[in-house]
Every structure is written in C-alpha cells, then in structure tokens.
C-alpha cells in the first residue's frame, strides 16, 4: 500500500494520461484535452508537494525512491510543463496539425521524467528515459508535412536510440562487475573495488556518453540545433525545459548516488565536456540568425556550466548544479514562450530580426524578455547570475581555478548574443507597429515568469537552501 | 532610521513607479521624478551632518542575513571614503534629472526611471560592505546605463553601448573569481573581514591583477580606456554626466576599498606598473585630447587624463611608505586622489552639461561649428569659463586642490614622477582653453550661432549650482578633507603592515 502512496503523483499522471488519450480520440470540444491535461499536472503537483517531504522512502522493492530531491525536481518539472502548455495553447489552436496529441504526448513525457527523477535502479532510469524519449520523438515529428520537422525527428530518433543503447551497454558492464542494478548496492560495491578496474571505467564512459547526449553537451550535441530549429516551436519549448531537469536528475542518480566511488574518473571526463560545451555553445551562438538555433547553442553552453557544479564532486557542488538547472528551465521557458508570443497564424517568427522594436510595440513583454536575456547572460540581479555564481564558486572550491576562469571568460562571449536581442528590441525601430496580442492566461503566466526570474534573483536564498538540503548538504 | 537603505531603495522603487506612469502626461512624470531625486538628495544630507569625523570605523551600519546558506549579508555602512561619493551621486542625479526636462522627447518616463534606478544602484555600490552585495550592485548598474546609451544616444550608439557593456563585464567577472577565492581563504564575504585576511605574496599579486582588470576598465586607465570616448560621445548628455561624474569614480573607489587594503603587498609589489600606467594616462592622453575636434571627445580624454592623477595619488603612497615617510605625508596622496575624484565629478559633469546646452541648440558637438558664442550667450560663456579654468587646475577652483596634493606627494617619492605629472598643468590648460577660445571667443562664426538664446532659468540653476560647488571647494576644501581624514589615515596605517608576514607566521 505504501508503494502506491509514494508513487501516487506518477499514478495520477498515468491514469489521467490514459483518460486524456480517450478524450482525445473522441474529439469532443476544443480545449477539453487542454484543460484535463493542465488539471492532471496541477493535481500531480499538489500531490507531490503534499506527499513528498513528509514520507521519504523506497517503494517497489527499492526500484523507486521518494526523497526531497525527487520532490523538488518533480515539482519543477510539473510547473515548467504547465507553463509550456499555457504558452503552446494558442499556437497549436491556430495550426491545422494535431494539437490535442501534443498534450497527451506531453503528459506521457512528463510521466517518464517523473520516473527518471524517482529512479533508484538502473532499470527504472532506463524505463523513464525511454518513455520520455519516445514521447518526445513523436512530438518532434508531429508536424508531419514539414520537411524540417521530419528530418529533425529522424535525426533525434536515430541519435537518441544510439545514445540509449550506449547507456544500456554501460549499465550492463557495470552490472557484470558489481552484480547489481540497484544504485546503492552498486555504490557500495564500487567502494570495495578500490583498484577501479579498467572494465568499470569502460562502463562509466558509456554511461556518461548517454547522459551527455540527453543533456546535449559537446561532443554529443549534434542533434540539439537541428531538432530545436526543425521541431514546431511549442515542442522546442517543451524539449528545452523539463527534460533538462530530468537529465540532471539521472546524472545525479547515476554518477553521484551510484558511482560516487569513481568520482575521480568522471570528474575529469565532465571537465572536458564542460569546457567544450561552454566554448562551442557560446561561440557558435554568435553566428546564428535563427533565434531557435541561437537558443539551442545557448542551451549547449548552459549545460556546460551545469556540469561545473557536478564535477566539483562535493555536496554543495551538486546543489549548485541543481540550482542552475532549475534557474535555466525557468529562463528557457520564458525565452521560448516569447517566440511563441511573436508568432501568429501563418507566420513563424523564428528570425532574430522579428524582435526588432519590440519595446515600442509591447513595452511590458519587451521588458520581460530583457530580464530573461540579462538573466541568461548572467547579469545580476537576475536568477541566472546566481546559477553561474553558484557553480563557479563550487568549481573554484574544488580546486578547478582554471575551469572557473575559463567559465567566466566564456560567459563574457555569451553576453554578446543575448545583448544583441536586447539591442534589437530596444534600440531598433519596429518594422510593424501592431502590439502583440495574446490571451489573458498567457499574458499572466509570461509576466509571472519574468517576475520569477527577477524575484529569485533578488532573494535566491530559499531556493539555494532547498537545493542544499535536497542533495543532503543541509546546514 | 535606516538612512542608507533609504538612499538606495527610494530612487529604485521611485523609478519603478515612474515607469508605471509612462502613459500619463509629461508634467506628472517630470514632477514625480524630480521630487524623488530631490527627496533622495535631502535624505543623503543627514549622512554628512551626522557623520563622526573622528573615527575610521564604519558608520550607520545595517546588517541582516541575505543568503544565510553562504553567510551573505545585506551589509551596509559608510566611512570617509564612501560618504563623499554618495553625496556626489545624489547631488549629480538631481541635476541630471533636471537637465533632461525639455530635451528628452522620446520615452521620457523610461529615461527618468533609468536614471533614478541607476542612482539607487550606485549608492548601493558605495555603501555595500558585503562583497557579493557589492558585486550585485556593481553589475546591475550596467543594465540601466546600457539602455541609456543605447536608446537615447547618438549615431553610433549601438556600437558604443555594446562596447561599454562588454568591456566592463569583462573586467568585473575576474573580480568575481577573486572574491570567490577570498571567500575560500577566509570563509566570509564581508569586505572588512577580507581586509584582515593574511595572504601570501603570489596569491596577492594574482588577486591584485583580477581587481585591476575590473577597476582599471572602470577608471579607465590606459590601455583599457578605449570604451570611454565612444560611450561618452554617443551617450545623451545625462548619461555622459553620470558616466564621468560617478561611474569612473567607482574604479577609484574599488582601489581604495578592495585592492589596497585586501592585497597591500600585491599593491606594493606592482606599484611601479600602476604609477607608469597613471603617468602614461596623464601625459599621453593629454596630448590625445589636444587634437580632438569633437567637444565631448575632448572632455572624455581629459577625464582619462585627470583620472590618471587619482590612481597616481593612490599608488605613489607605496613609494613613500617604502622610503619610510610618515603616515601623514603618505595619506596626502590618497586624500589628493579623493579630492581629485570629487572635483572631477563636478567639473567634468559641468563641462558635459555645457556641451549639452550647446548641442540642444545647434545639434553639433564639433568645435568648428561654433565660434563667438560669447556674443550671444554671455552668461553661459562666463559659467563655462569657471569650469574650464577648474579643468585646467587654476588655483581657487576645486581642480587645483587635488592636483596640487598629488603633485606634492609625488615630489617626495620621485622628482621625475612630479615632472611628468606636472605637464598636465600645461597640457590641461592648453586643450581646455584652446577649445574654449575656439568655441566661445572670436567673431560670430555662422548664423546659427548668431541666433543662440542665452541660458534659461533651469539651465542657470544647474550650471550655477555646479559653479558654486567648484569655487567653494576650491577656496575651502576643509569640509571634504575633514570627512575623509580619519579613514585615509587608517587606510595608510593598514597598508603599511605586510600581510605576508601574517600569512607566514599563521596569525
């Protein structure tokens, strides 16, 4: 019975996901599917918050874990997904292709992410990962008449399947050496293998390749720009936010909870990945004229920063990464939401120039975008600054002074392309003067999104404390 | 009453309120922003009158936990170094708001709000005693300035503002790395705790260089000064005034608050470099100013040259300490630098406002478009004369006091430093007065000059109050020196004790 209570949020999403699928098949009343999906996410959010912190514990014979880390990350995933659904609604309603399926597939992807976050076993991780990935492949391919979308979906699927395979191969090697799939048993037996056999390192490489692919860090980043650009914007929005949270979760579960005994090995691998990502992401983003592609390269750079905290190998370092990923999900949600706001029926707004003169057309939205861009660039007092501050601080504390210096140098390069958006919005004259029109719901959520970036920047203490206690570094 | 919090947050929140008034009529926006600026200035006066000049300790301290997990506090306080700069900020902002009254046509509410928010952030920089709080104010300040230059600036504004932002950002992030490193050494983000932290010489040199990157860009020192002429020329008048009068001073303030007390041995070890850079700025940039055709550019280069005096004054102190001079005579260098900063705040701000007055009428900054302005604008010509003389360092104006103190100190350190520094008296007079002559005197150059109207009441108030300040501090600098004396004495005392010895003995 307690198994079911611990996994109640997942069960709700699963049950309701099936119900929404039926509602979707019956094609009754526009908006029903949307409202049901939002209701499901909201109910799951309430359950997660109500159940989580009170009952930490294992379920299903140790396959599933409910702890503070899971509660915080699941809440973030649910909130971000709700926001993504709000932003996407108008866009989907104005397009002829299958809009209801977006929400159904979204629900199943969310379920996959929740399972990943709560996984305590290699197989549970893989199960969640595949559920999420398969839903996302389908979402990318949703606009089937678009050649770009089909190509993106194909690329994503082939590379994604390859990455899953590699990860599975790595897991099988680890299983062969340690004799267990349970994360804690693996961790315990790794501490006994003090000699760190070559086979273990070999397995670790494959696991890290899988994680790196899911996060999209160099050199496993090839799919990101094409998929971000080719997929319909609402899908890009969904893809660029919540899965990053679950990607961090599996990185934490696998590397920290499962393989902390090999920290010296994965630390070095992550350091290389981090430097390459920050360099390539920030430099290549400068050359982009498609905003979705630019944000794709910016994602790559941000994931590099995220790794800085993980590779510190300390509890505060993991908390730094967790803070970073939550902050990043919030900012990226707003930025992609803003692209959706600019699009209208029959007009895809994915060129950077479409932001021209926004501050004269819609001063408030331009200001929200300004906050988001400065936040992504890491300028205080916005939340993005604290993310960078936190991970750089931890890298420095772990003795990676050269990494910290490189990180700040790349963040200067990164500032340039975010400033370019602000320049277009504020310093250029608009090509058209009509103010942006959008529903009340979207206006409200977008404002909230912008204010959250500012609010968390002015008082980041609570979220930091939460992240610290979630990874077990509570003071 | 938490006075320091008030002078920080009143303008910031007031600026936000002005933003929400954007749709109302101009008069309401103007009235509201001016009253906020005035209220902030009035609130900053008790800081001066209630200031205890006998102690070097921080006063009006406010300290509440901000991010308890890492011991970051909302920690404010002022001493003799920050107080004059806060007063300069609140005073200048009133004038800048006033100067924008009839001139700004586009997006008036946003313009006023940007300057008010900027004022609050600048006060925060000067009052912050927690390194992270300081850094947040320091960086946040770039956002309104970026927009001010970019939205209301001239032709090349986009280039200028992005250059400004990236240059400053570049310098600051390395300071952040240094601050984080200090946190790991000492376990605290409190600036005062960092002052007492023992460090070995190698670490001190690296930290000094990281700080130098941040502060040298801001001052700006040669060779990282190239953003300044662009930013100054393209910024609207108000933006140039704030940049010249206050933002440049943050570099100087940073040296006194961070570099000197936290890494005294690093500063001592690299003082030759600093003195050389300062002298290059004074002499070389002085020559560069001489050939400028654009009035704003000329004043911008003159700013760089004058700020060279500030850094010279700060670092020549180490030569004196090395020579075994008394603390009193060494303190004179720093005091001279401080006085030079305040005086330059008045003078350069005033000169930019003068150019603004002309630009509003004729829409040109080129010297060749003017000539014989005295015939049509006699009052303006008289006031500008005062500022030009102060810029040239004429005795009786505030410009003289700082330069005199610094040169006097450098003579004690080395005769040749003083000779180099002394050339500014010739060069400064040359470029300033030559510009004045070409613009103001002579025959009426063209019919646009012939149609010029003299100052209106608003402009007269602005320039008149600045002229009064320049003359007042020129003949009676005592109030300024009195305030900073105890703090500077203590600073010199502090830097003359090596931290390396402490680090070695483990104290």
pLDDT at residue A117 tops 90: yes
Predicted pLDDT at A475: 45
Tokens matching residue A105:
């597939």
Inspect the interface and report whether the beta carbons of A380 and B136 lie closer than 8 Å. yes
State pLDDT tens for residues A53-74.
Answer: 666 788 888 888 888 889 999 9
Cα–Cα distance, B102 to B29 (Å, whole number)? 12
Predicted pLDDT at A54: 65
Predicted pLDDT at A127: 93
Q: Among B22, B150, B170, select the one facing A423 at the smallest CB separation.
A: B150
- What is the pLDDT of chain A when averaged over all its residues? 88
Tokens matching residue B83:
């107080």
pLDDT band at A346 (very low <50, low <70, confident <90, very high): low
Contact B426, B332 (CB under 8 A): no
- Closest Cα of chain A to B146: distance in Å? 10
- B142 inside 8 A of chain A by CB: yes
- Closest Cα of chain B to A270: distance in Å? 21
Q: Residue A428, exposed/middle/buried by CB under 10 A (0-12, 13-18, 19+)?
A: middle
- Closest Cα of chain A to B151: distance in Å? 5
Residues of B in contact with A409 (CB under 8 A): 173
3-class DSSP state for residue A57?
strand
Cα–Cα distance, A20 to A36 (Å, whole number)? 7
Exposure class string for B242-251: b at 16+ Cβ within 10 A, else e: bbbbbbbbbb
pLDDT at residue B97 tops 70: yes
Residues of B in contact with A422 (CB under 8 A): 146, 150
Q: What are phi and psi of A313, to 5 degrees?
A: 75, 20
- A162 inside 8 A of chain B by CB: no
State pLDDT tens for residues B73-83.
Answer: 999 999 989 99
pLDDT at residue B455 tops 70: yes
Give which of B74, B173, B210, B239 to mutate to test A binding, by max A Cβ within 10 Å: B173
- Closest Cα of chain B to A221: distance in Å? 27
Residues 179-208 of B with CB under 8 A from A: 180-181, 183-184
User: Which range has highest mean pLDDT (B122-126, B201-205, B417-421)?
Assistant: B122-126
Q: Among A415, A419, A464, select the one facing B69 at the smallest CB separation.
A: A464
Q: In this structure, what is the dihedral angle of CA atoms A359, A361, A367, A368, given to the nearest 10 degrees?
A: -140
Residues of B in contact with A393 (CB under 8 A): 180, 183
- A465 inside 8 A of chain B by CB: yes
C-alpha closest to that of A421 among A378, A379, A376, A370? A370
The secondary structure of B368-397 as a DSSP string is GG---HHHH-HHHHHHHHHHHHHHHT-TTS
- A392 inside 8 A of chain B by CB: yes
Give which of B132, B159, B180 to mutate to test A binding, by max A Cβ within 10 Å: B180
The secondary structure of B159-213 as a DSSP string is HHHHHHHHHHHHHHHHHHHHHHHHHHHHS--BHHHHHT----HHHHHHHHHHHHH
Predicted pLDDT at A328: 95
Q: What is the mean pLDDT of residues B390-419?
A: 86
pLDDT band at A29 (very low <50, low <70, confident <90, very high): low
pLDDT at residue A329 tops 60: yes
- What is the pLDDT of chain B when averaged over all its residues? 88
Contact B62, B77 (CB under 8 A): yes
- A460 inside 8 A of chain B by CB: yes
Q: What is the mean pLDDT of residues B465-475?
A: 89
Q: Can you say whether residue B60 is alpha, beta or left, with left for phi > 0 and alpha for psi between -120 and 50 degrees?
A: left
Predicted pLDDT at B101: 83
pLDDT band at B488 (very low <50, low <70, confident <90, very high): confident
Q: Which residue of A has its CA nearest to B210?
A: A405
pLDDT at residue B327 tops 80: no
Question: Which residues sit opposite B65 in a β-bridge?
Answer: B73
Q: Among B68, B150, B173, select the one facing A426 at the smallest CB separation.
A: B150
The secondary structure of B271-319 as a DSSP string is HHHHHHHHHHHHHHHHHHHHT-SBHHHHHHHHHHHHHHHHHHHHHHHHH
Q: Residue A443, exposed/middle/buried by CB under 10 A (0-12, 13-18, 19+)?
A: middle
- B69 inside 8 A of chain A by CB: yes
Q: What is the mean pLDDT of residues B9-36?
A: 86
Q: Residue A151, exposed/middle/buried by CB under 10 A (0-12, 13-18, 19+)?
A: middle
Q: Which residue of A has its CA nearest to B147?
A: A426
Cα–Cα distance, A449 to B183 (Å, whole number)? 32
Predicted pLDDT at B507: 47
Tokens 């936190």 belong to: A390
State pLDDT tens for residues A122-140.
Answer: 999 999 999 999 999 999 9
State pLDDT tens for residues B100-149.
Answer: 887 888 888 889 999 999 999 999 999 999 999 999 999 999 999 999 99
Tokens 């102190």 belong to: B317
Q: Up-side HSE of residue A366: CA atoms within 13 Å toward CB? A: 23
Tokens matching residue B369:
């478009």
CB atoms within 10 A of CB A348: 16
Angle between helices B3-20 and B108-127 (to 10 degrees): 160
pLDDT at residue A338 tops 50: yes
3-class DSSP state for residue A97?
coil
State pLDDT tens for residues A390-404.
Answer: 999 999 888 888 898
Cα–Cα distance, B254 to B37 (Å, whole number)? 25
C-alpha closest to that of B165 among B217, B202, B113? B217
Query: What residues contact B132, with CB distance under 8 A and at least 6 apart?
Result: A389, B67, B72, B179, B189
The answer to pTM > 0.80 is: yes
State pLDDT tens for residues B165-187.
Answer: 998 998 888 899 999 999 988 88
The secondary structure of B226-257 as a DSSP string is THHHHHHHHS-HHHHHHIIIIIHHHHHHHIII
3-class DSSP state for residue A64?
strand
Higher pLDDT, B355 or A349: B355
For the ranges A200-214, A315-329, A349-363, B316-330, the lowest mean pLDDT is seen at B316-330
Q: Among A396, A401, A419, select the one facing B165 at the smallest CB separation.
A: A419
Contact B463, B353 (CB under 8 A): yes
């Amino acid at each position: 019975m307690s198994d079911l209570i611990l996994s109640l949020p997942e069960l709700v999403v699963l049950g309701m996901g099936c119900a929404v699928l039926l509602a979707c098949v019956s094609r009754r009343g526009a908006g029903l599917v949307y409202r049901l999906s939002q209701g499901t996410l909201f109910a799951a959010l309430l359950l997660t918050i109500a159940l989580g912190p009170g009952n930490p514990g294992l379920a299903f014979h140790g396959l599933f874990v409910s702890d503070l880390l899971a509660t915080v990350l699941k809440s973030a995933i649910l909130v971000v997904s709700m926001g993504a659904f709000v932003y996407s609604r108008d866009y989907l309603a104005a397009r002829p292709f299958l809009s209801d399926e977006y929400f159904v597939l979204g629900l199943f992807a969310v379920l996959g992410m929740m399972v990943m976050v709560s996984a305590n076993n290699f197989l549970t991780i893989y199960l969640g990962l595949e559920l999420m990935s398969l839903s996302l492949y389908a979402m990318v391919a949703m606009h089937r008449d678009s050649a770009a979308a089909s190509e993106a979906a194909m690329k994503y699927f082939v590379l994604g399947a390859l990455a899953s395979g590699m990860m599975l191969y790595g897991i099988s090697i680890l299983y062969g050496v340690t004799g267990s799939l349970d994360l804690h048993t693996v961790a315990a037996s790794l501490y006994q293998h003090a000699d760190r056999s070559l086979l273990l390192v070999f397995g670790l490489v494959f696991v890290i390749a899988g994680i790196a692919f899911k996060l999209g860090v160099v050199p496993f980043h090839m799919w990101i720009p094409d998929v971000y650009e080719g997929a319909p914007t609402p899908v890009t929005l969904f893809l660029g936010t919540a899965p990053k949270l679950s990607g961090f979760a599996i990185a934490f579960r696998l590397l920290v909870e499962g393989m902390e005994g090999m920290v010296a090995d994965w630390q070095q691998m992550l350091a290389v990945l981090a430097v390459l990502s920050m360099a390539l992401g920030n430099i290549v983003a400068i050359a982009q004229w498609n905003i979705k592609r630019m944000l794709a390269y910016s994602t790559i750079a941000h994931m590099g920063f995220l790794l800085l905290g993980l590779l510190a190998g300390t509890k505060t370092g993991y908390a730094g990464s967790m803070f970073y990923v939550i902050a990043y999900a919030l900012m990226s949600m707003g930025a992609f939401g803003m692209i959706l706001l600019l699009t209208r029926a029959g007009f895809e707004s994915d060129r950077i120039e479409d932001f021209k003169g926004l501050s004269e057309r819609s001063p408030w939205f331009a200001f929200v975008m300004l906050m988001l861009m400065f936040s992504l660039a890491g300028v205080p007092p916005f939340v993005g600054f604290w993310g960078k501050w936190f991970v750089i601080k931890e890298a420095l504390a772990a003795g990676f002074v050269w990494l910290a210096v490189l990180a700040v140098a790349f963040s200067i390069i990164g500032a340039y392309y975010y400033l370019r958006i602000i320049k277009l919005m504020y310093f250029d004259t608009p090509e058209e003067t009509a103010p942006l029109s959008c529903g009340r719901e979207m206006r409200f959520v977008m404002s909230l999104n912008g204010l959250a970036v500012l609010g968390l920047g002015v008082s980041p203490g609570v979220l930091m404390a939460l992240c610290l206690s979630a990874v077990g570094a509570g003071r | 009453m938490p006075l320091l919090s008030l002078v920080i947050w009143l303008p910031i929140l007031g600026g936000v309120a002005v933003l929400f008034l954007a749709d109302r009529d101009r008069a309401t926006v103007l009235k509201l922003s001016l009253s906020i600026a005035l209220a902030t200035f009035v609130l900053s006066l008790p800081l001066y009158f209630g200031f205890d000049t006998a102690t070097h300790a921080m006063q009006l301290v406010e300290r509440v936990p901000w991010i308890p997990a890492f011991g970051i506090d909302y920690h404010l306080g002022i001493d003799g170094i920050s107080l004059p700069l806060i007063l300069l900020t609140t005073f200048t902002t009133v004038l800048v708001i006033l100067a924008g009254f009839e001139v700004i046509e586009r997006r008036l509410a946003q313009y006023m709000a940007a300057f008010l928010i900027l004022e609050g952030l600048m006060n925060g920089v000067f009052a912050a005693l927690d390194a992270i709080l300081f850094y947040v104010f320091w960086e946040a300040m770039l956002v309104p300035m970026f927009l001010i230059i970019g939205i209301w600036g001239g032709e090349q504004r986009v280039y200028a503002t992005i250059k400004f932002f990236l240059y400053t950002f570049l310098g600051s992030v390395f300071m952040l790395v240094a601050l984080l490193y200090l946190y790991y050494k000492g376990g605290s983000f409190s600036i005062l705790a960092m002052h007492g932290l023992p460090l070995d010489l190698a670490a001190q040199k690296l930290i000094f260089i990281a700080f130098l990157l941040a502060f040298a860009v801001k001052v700006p020192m040669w060779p990282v000064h190239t953003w300044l002429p662009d930013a100054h020329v393209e910024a609207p008048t108000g933006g140039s005034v704030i940049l010249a009068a206050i933002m440049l001073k943050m570099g100087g303030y940073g040296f006194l608050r961070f570099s000197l007390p936290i890494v005294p041995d690093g500063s001592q070890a690299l003082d030759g470099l600093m003195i050389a850079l300062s002298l290059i700025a004074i002499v070389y940039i002085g020559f560069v100013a001489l050939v400028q055709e654009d009035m704003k550019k000329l004043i911008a280069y003159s700013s760089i040259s004058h700020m060279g005096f500030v850094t010279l004054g700060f670092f020549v102190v180490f030569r004196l300490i090395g020579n075994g001079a008394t603390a009193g005579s060494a303190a004179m260098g720093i005091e001279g630098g401080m006085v030079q900063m305040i005086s330059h705040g008045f003078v350069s701000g005033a000169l930019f406002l003068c150019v603004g007055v002309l630009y509003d009428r004729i829409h040109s900054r080129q010297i060749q478009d003017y000539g014989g302005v005295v015939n049509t604008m006699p009052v303006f010509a008289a006031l500008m004369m005062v500022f030009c003389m102060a810029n040239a360092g004429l005795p009786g104006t505030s410009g003289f006091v700082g330069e005199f103190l610094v040169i006097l100190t450098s003579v004690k350190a080395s005769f040749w430093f003083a000779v180099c520094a002394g050339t500014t008296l010739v060069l400064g007079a040359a470029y300033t007065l030559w510009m004045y002559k070409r613009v103001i005197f002579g025959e009426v150059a063209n019919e646009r000059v012939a149609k010029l109207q003299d100052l209106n009441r608003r402009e007269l108030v602005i320039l008149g109050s600045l002229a009064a300040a320049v003359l007042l501090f020129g003949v009676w600098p005592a109030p300024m020196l009195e305030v900073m004396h105890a703090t500077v004495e203590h600073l010199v005392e502090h830097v003359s004790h090596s931290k390396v010895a402490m680090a070695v003995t483990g104290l």
